[in-house]
Amino acid sequence: MRSFSDADGDGVGDLLGITARLPYLADLGIDAVWLTPFYLSPQVDHGYDVADYRQVDPLFGTLEDFDAMSAAAHDLGIKVIIDIVPNHSSSAHEWFDAALTAGRGSPERARYVFRDGRGEGGDEPPNNWRSVFGGAAWTRVEDGQWYLHLFEESQPDFDWDNLEVGDEFESILRFWLDRGVDGFRIDVAHGMFKAEGLPDVGGLDAGGGTLDVVMADWNRPYWDQPRLHEVYRRWHEVLAEYDGDKMAIGEAWVGSAAAMARYVRADELQQVFNFHWLDAPWSAQAFADVIGETFAAVGPVGASPTWVLSNHDVTRPVTRYGGGELGLGRSRAAMLAMLALPGSAYIYAGEELGLPQVDVPADARQDPTWLRGGGVGRDGCRVPMPWSGHLPPFGFGPDGTHPWLPQPEGFASLTVEAQSADPASTLAFFRAALTRRRELLSTLSQDLEMLDRGPGVLAFRRRGVADGAGLACVLNCGETDHRVSDLGAPLMLSGPPIDAAGKLRPSAAAWFGA
Ligand code: NOJ
């Protein structure tokens, strides 16, 4: 939201900016957009601290701007998925204000997790939980009680054992469904409920690490609690009341594919992010294991898999895979393999340009993770998109705009404009791969057959349905060229052409008819 396109030149992306760029997205060949939160918010965690779930923050525009963006997207055949943040609100939410004013034992306070402290005078936090962003997960209020915030101190956790919280969120879902959204991305979908008695986290430093590591540590008594599933069953019914193909996808960083599958049982969420592809190291075996475990998990519950290589919380894949030409080559190859798999692929803005992680100067960093001493933070993957021109703001906003995070000079060669003119660019690759994928979609079986082409090589095939052609994908994670001449001419390549001897280079992937 903040980093895509800024129509009013205040340095922060907005709804009018998105509307103006919808033709670009349609041309890219996507089916839906997911917008990070645009609700009224102090922006401490860049929108994930919501003060009013039914209002658009003036920073991003108005409710009318949202409706116009949504209508324009629908006209172009693009569905609109919005972010819902049910684990916590902002401390600027009127409920939290009321909780502070009404005091101990009040129904207002019971909407959040307030507890007395431990030790003499209750001076110690109620337990040893640490914030995902670093530091304590508890803050003390004037009357001596403590409140829980698994994230920033201005993001108090709701108490989901209080039925009023669930009712309020159902009403929020309906508010946006009534406005025509197609679905929701559920923030911290494995959070919300906490283990009874709020037990200490045992046997670890109880904090630290990058967001994906902390969020995926399934030993913590605040993740993946069984009662979550009752909520998702209720939300399933809410979505089913509306016409059209409504859906919800959970951001559930759970430790195994089997745990992930519990969120997508037939009467729960439609999809869950499969972060195991993103977490996999550069290894054919690791990718094969993720594929095998994913299908073994989602198959029995009848759900379709999702694939993710990147998002606004993790280091961009180009950098994760080694940076420079190597990192770019590998990220394109991993993407091509991912796009060949049955299921839904999620692409993070800028991934189609091959943007690297930016080393944002310390004095410009804004992520609460950095500000709370929890590490370098996520600003490096959130630097505003380069659209055109040779100098900042690279078309992100009108000339003279100062983007909320500084763009590096190196973005000049990565703009949409520059890449559109180059048939060998990453953008041209993405456009071609998405177009091909769309063409093939209806002709391919949802089943997958793994092929053994030796160590270091991931290979699989999808059969064609109704006599249509199938698709084989080969990803070379090894150190040496891999002969693919037996598979015929490639339909798509992630990188340099296959040489005359029919060999696929290391760190490259290809599709073939099969
Ligand atoms: C996950 C979101 O993706 C992240 O950006 C946010 O900081 C946390 N949830 C807290 O809402």
Does residue 78 share a domain with residue 101?
no
Asked whether residue 247 falls in the same domain as residue 135, the answer is: no
Look at residues 336, 359, 382 and tell me which one is the last residue of a structural domain: 359
Torsion of CA 348, 354, 357, 360, to 10 degrees: -100
Ligand 1, atom 2: closest residue by C-alpha: 187
Are 310 and 198 in a shared domain?
A: yes
Catalytic residue among 178, 241, 452, 486: 241
Residue 203 has a pLDDT of 59
28 found inside a domain: yes
Indicate whether 82 and 20 sit together in one domain.
Answer: yes
Helix and strand numbers, DSSP H then E, in the chain: 14, 19
β-strands 32-35, 79-84 pairing = parallel
Determine whether 187 is an active site residue: yes
| Ligand 1 centroid, distance to 48 Cα (angstroms) | 6
Q: Ligand 1 pocket, 511 CB below 6 A?
A: no
CATH code where residue 105 lies: 3.90.400.10
Q: Are residues 175 and 83 in the same domain?
A: yes
User: Quick check: is 274 in a domain?
Assistant: yes
| Cα 69 to averaged position of ligand 1 atoms, centre (Å) | 24
Residue 27 lies in a domain: yes
Tokens matching residue 395: 């078309």
Helix, strand, or coil (residue 316): coil
Q: Are residues 187 and 246 in the same domain?
A: yes
What does the pLDDT read at residue 207?
A: 52
Q: CATH no. for residue 211?
A: 3.20.20.80
- Regarding whether 445 and 504 lie in a shared domain, the answer is yes
Tokens standing for 354?
């091959």
Residue 422 lies in a domain: no
Residues 59 and 169 in one domain: yes
DSSP secondary structure of 200-261: PPPSS-S--S-HHHHHT-TTSTTSS-TTHHHHHHHHHHHHHTSSS--EEEE----SSHHHHH
pLDDT at position 205: 53
pLDDT of residue 179: 97
What would the 3-class secondary structure string for 419-474 be?
A: HHCCCCCHHHHHHHHHHHHHHHHCCECCCCEEECCCCCEEEEEECECCCCCCEEEE
Question: From the centroid of its chain, how far is CA 355?
Answer: 16
Verify that 302 and 436 share a domain, yes or no: no
Q: Is residue 380 part of a domain?
A: no
pLDDT at 209: 65
Residue of minimum CA distance from atom 5 in ligand 1? 313
Please count the structural domains in the chain.
3
- Predicted pLDDT at 204: 52
Claim to verify: residue 140 and residue 262 sit in the same structural domain:
no
Catalytically annotated residue among 153, 187, 251, 352: 187
Asked whether residue 339 is assigned to any structural domain, the reply reads: yes
Evaluate whether residue 424 is within a structural domain: no
All residues at 6 or more sequence positions from 169 whose CB lies less than 8 Å from its CB, including other chains: 84, 86, 231
Parent domain of 125: 94-148
Q: Does ligand 1 come within 6 angstroms of the Cβ of 187?
A: yes
Given this model, what pLDDT does residue 292 score? 96
The residue from 310, 325, 359 where one domain ends is: 359
pLDDT (0 to 100) of residue 222 = 93
Same domain? For 111 and 170 the reply is: no
CATH of the domain at 490: 2.60.40.1180
Q: Is-catalytic flag, 164?
A: no
Residues in the chain with pLDDT values less than 50: 206
For ligand 1, what atom is nearest to the CA of residue 378? Answer: 5
Tell whether 74 and 176 lie within a shared domain.
yes
The domain boundary residue, chosen from 325, 359, 393? 359
In a domain, 421, yes or no: no
DSSP, collapsed to helix, strand or coil, labels residue 368 as: helix
pLDDT tens-digit series, residues 354-377: 999 999 999 999 999 999 888 899
* Position in ligand 1 atom list of the atom nearest CA 45: 7
Q: Report the alpha-carbon distance of residue 481 to residue 499 in Å, rounded.
A: 10
Give the distance (Å) from ligand 1 centre to CA of residue 249: 14
Cα of 151 from ligand 1 centre, angstroms: 8
Distance (Å, whole) CA 85 – CA 45: 12
pTM of the model: 0.96
Per-residue pLDDT tens digits for 272-296: 999 999 999 999 999 999 999 999 9
